[in-house]
Structure 1
Amino acid sequence: MFSFQPSCWSEHGELKAVMLCAPSKLDVPDLKTAENVLWSAPVSHVQAMENFMELKGTLEQAGVQVIDYSKELQADAQQLSEQLLNRYFVRDLACAFGNELLPGEAGSSIRRPEYRHAHDLLEKWFPHHFTAPKETGDVLEFGDVMVLNKDAVLINIGQRTTRAGVERVKDRIFKAGFSEIGIIDLPRSSDTLHLDMNCNVANEDVVIAKSFMRYFPVQILSASTARFEMTAQFFKRHGFELYWLEKYNTIPDINFLNINPETLLVSNKATKQHFKSHPILQKKNIVSIEVTELEKGGGGIRCMTLPLERKSV
């Protein structure tokens, strides 16, 4: 169906193809309802769609092939999907490790239907790279995963990802060509829900991270060994400087997307001074878009985008 095959070896290479999903057709009408579905505020579907179309259009203008999976669903799945509030947070559903596309498993029951919908489509589109799984209870949401380079992957086990979920995919990550998996166990709160709410790759050699992460060890797994080192040591060994943030607005400041090695896609709410204050990041092309209505769902731009192909660097 598509002229490309999954291929992602970093978080910062040029983005060539990405999967998105339009937001649900439902409004979240009041604060009480928002709190009950674990959102931060009421949401208007009309405004959410305006945000989504700006996200989609900006990526397309940058030359990225955008696939909105909501357009590809069969009628019965479509009817249900249009009522799934979190369906636009596609990052969690799957992840391309090199040329291997692996499925996630929902850590929250409200999200299980969208995983099935997306997995069925991915298996149809990429039958040689993806197999839709059976639910095992070994949960893994890929907002907890970063593909740092051709050698290393970092995974957080926390509120939405378990160690059993990592064990489920570990051997396939090594088989895909990676030599090292780092496992970190970060605090479990709404402000630290996934790894990409705590740190993010901002350049080929810079990671932005909340300052508390300096106190956490990382367990380093290879195909045959396991050991520990601290977070900064792990990143430094793989060529990254840690740019520690003491003050931050979690979702807009941490949850951004690399469009290419020169360009970051960020929320209008992001603190631009963070980038201007760093000697490398101040040279980046910062593209800001309005995603405030979508961010009320508890995630940011990275959460809303599933890279399927990045140009190798």
Structure 2
Amino acid sequence: MNNDAIQIYSEIGKLKKVLLHRPGYELENLMPDYLERLLFDDIPYLKVAQEEHDAFADILRKNGSEVVYLEDLVTEAITDNDVKNNFISEYIIEAGIKETRKTEVLTDFFKSYENKDMVMKMIAGVRKSEIKGYEKRNLVDFLDDDYPFLIDPMPNLYFTRDNFSTVGRGVSLHKMHTVTRGRETLFGKYVFKYHKEYNKTPLWYDRTEDFSVEGGDVLILNEDTVAIGISQRTQPSAIEKYAKNLLGNDSFNKILAIDIPKHRAFMHLDTVFTMVDYDKFTIHPNIKKNMNLFAITKKDNGELSIEEEHGSVDEILKRHLNLDKVSLITCGGGNVIDAAREQWNDGSNTLAISPGNVVVYARNYVSNKVLEESGIKVHVMPSAELSRGRGGPRCMSMPLVREPLKK
């Protein structure tokens, strides 16, 4: 096992290395008629979105984090022509291309690029107008004439948290809830299969599983306990399989499966709840009341033990994390209007870069002020365009290495 590549035993340990994806031309391939298909509500302006993302990366670097980019790791994982050919073939199949002629045309198209440019083109999607000599030959082509893409863009990929998640010294490659995001995990597959730095990383969950789990629902509370949201996009059966693979194979001995509302504003657990310090958490006011939770442990015989619990969030956290007190910092300061507005722009979705230091969106100024008043240092990033994708700083980052927490 590679003992250094992945080390994540908390949400708040000093962030030493983090994976991002700088949004690219895939955002320019968003169209109003197909936003719902691609899980977007609006179209970010790419130039400004990239400037905002660069500002995000600069905040991380200035605070001691090494920033690496998904597109670079994937490129480095394409070690020879056999890997490249397999990658192209899998990508085309997972893009839903079944007709032989289209497969051949697209294969030649991708092979014509150098590896880095090929990866970026795969992310951006392929317009029909880009394929020279493409012509309608069969009934499907004629019926599909109005649709401008041969392969859809992948605009959600700048939310690198979702398609895989690092836990302990391992990683889970996710079965995504929607077909639209399914291809995203193929990039992670090639990184963790072929990249020389990451190819010995153990897998806690694989993208070939039957049930969906997404990284925004996975929070590492400490070296013993992982919280996973039962959400719109993470299914209970996935959590059970995850638990069987994880528990007993690292330092973790407990998973807290937290039942949250199943709608878009509460898409993942980290959209309504994140950890910002040893005993401080952001939270949306709608989940401060009693909640349903299932504590999952593993018996000596390998079977799971599941105990249902009820109670307030602070009581549950104190009990399971052995804390004397818990501070819940409410999105929007608890004001029903401010909370709803800032929740829409991920006011509860913070990225801790060390205990008590978090990155936040500038537009959530009410929530940011409440964080500061609670003793949290906020690092404010511009967010006018990135926020249109409905994800915050935690969504846009996948930590690879954090320092261990002090006991």
User: TM-score normalised to the size of structure 2?
Assistant: 0.71
Judged with a 3 Å threshold, the aligned counterparts in structure 2 of structure 1 residues 62 and 184 are, in CA distance, closer, same or farther, namely same
Q: Which residue of 2 aligns with 1:17?
A: 17
Judged with a 3 Å threshold, the aligned counterparts in structure 2 of structure 1 residues 196 and 219 are, in CA distance, closer, same or farther, namely same
Structure 1 residue 261 corresponds to structure 2 residue 341: no
How big is the shift at 1:86? 0.8
d(CA) in 1 for partners of 2:261, 2:377: 32
Preserved CA contact (<8 Å) 2:271 2:346: no
Q: Equivalent of 1:105, from 144, 166, 175?
A: 175
Aligned pairs (5 A) from 1:190-205? 190-205=264-279
- 2:180 match: secondary structure: helix
**Which whole-Å deviations, capped at 9, do the CAs of 1:239-271 have from their partners, x for residues lacking one?**
243334433211341111101114111111123
Structure 1 residue 163 corresponds to structure 2 residue 163: no
Aligned pair count reads 310
d(CA) in 2 for partners of 1:94, 1:103: 5
Q: Which moved more, 1:134-143 or 1:238-247?
A: 238-247
Q: Which residue of 1 aligns with 2:290?
A: 215
Judged with a 3 Å threshold, the aligned counterparts in structure 2 of structure 1 residues 276 and 290 are, in CA distance, closer, same or farther, namely closer
Judged with a 3 Å threshold, the aligned counterparts in structure 2 of structure 1 residues 217 and 307 are, in CA distance, closer, same or farther, namely same
Preserved CA contact (<8 Å) 2:270 2:349: yes
Q: Which moved more, 1:114-123 or 1:25-34?
A: 25-34
The root-mean-square deviation of aligned C-alpha atoms, in Å, is 2.3
- Give the number of the structure whose residues are more often helix, by fraction: 2
Q: Which residue of 1 aligns with 2:316?
A: 234
User: TM-score normalised to the size of structure 1?
Assistant: 0.91
Q: Equivalent of 2:121, from 76, 79, 95?
A: 79
How big is the shift at 1:308? 0.8
Q: Which moved more, 1:160-169 or 1:241-250?
A: 241-250
**Which whole-Å deviations, capped at 9, do the CAs of 1:149-194 have from their partners, x for residues lacking one?**
1121111112111112112221232121112111122111110000
Structure 1 residue 95 corresponds to structure 2 residue 171: no
Q: Which moved more, 1:2-11 or 1:297-306?
A: 2-11
**Which whole-Å deviations, capped at 9, do the CAs of 1:30-84 have from their partners, x for residues lacking one?**
6554344332222222122111111112211211011111133343443212331
Preserved CA contact (<8 Å) 1:192 1:198: yes
Preserved CA contact (<8 Å) 2:23 2:158: yes
Preserved CA contact (<8 Å) 1:14 1:260: yes
Judged with a 3 Å threshold, the aligned counterparts in structure 2 of structure 1 residues 130 and 189 are, in CA distance, closer, same or farther, namely same
- 1:126 match: secondary structure: coil
Judged with a 3 Å threshold, the aligned counterparts in structure 2 of structure 1 residues 165 and 29 are, in CA distance, closer, same or farther, namely closer
**Letter of the aligned partner of 2:306 in structure 1?**
A
Preserved CA contact (<8 Å) 2:231 2:268: yes
Q: Which residue of 2 aligns with 1:296?
A: 388
Q: Which residue of 2 aligns with 1:118?
A: 188
d(CA) in 1 for partners of 2:207, 2:368: 42
d(CA) in 1 for partners of 2:55, 2:176: 27
d(CA) in 2 for partners of 1:266, 1:208: 11
Q: Which moved more, 1:98-107 or 1:155-164?
A: 98-107
Judged with a 3 Å threshold, the aligned counterparts in structure 2 of structure 1 residues 40 and 191 are, in CA distance, closer, same or farther, namely same
Structure number with greater CO (CA < 8 Å, separation at least 6) is 1
Judged with a 3 Å threshold, the aligned counterparts in structure 2 of structure 1 residues 275 and 43 are, in CA distance, closer, same or farther, namely closer
How big is the shift at 1:298? 1.5
Q: Equivalent of 1:136, from 209, 219, 232?
A: 209
How big is the shift at 1:283? 2.6
Q: Which moved more, 1:234-243 or 1:61-70?
A: 234-243
**Which whole-Å deviations, capped at 9, do the CAs of 1:103-146 have from their partners, x for residues lacking one?**
22211111111111122113323222245935223111010111
Q: Percent identity?
A: 22
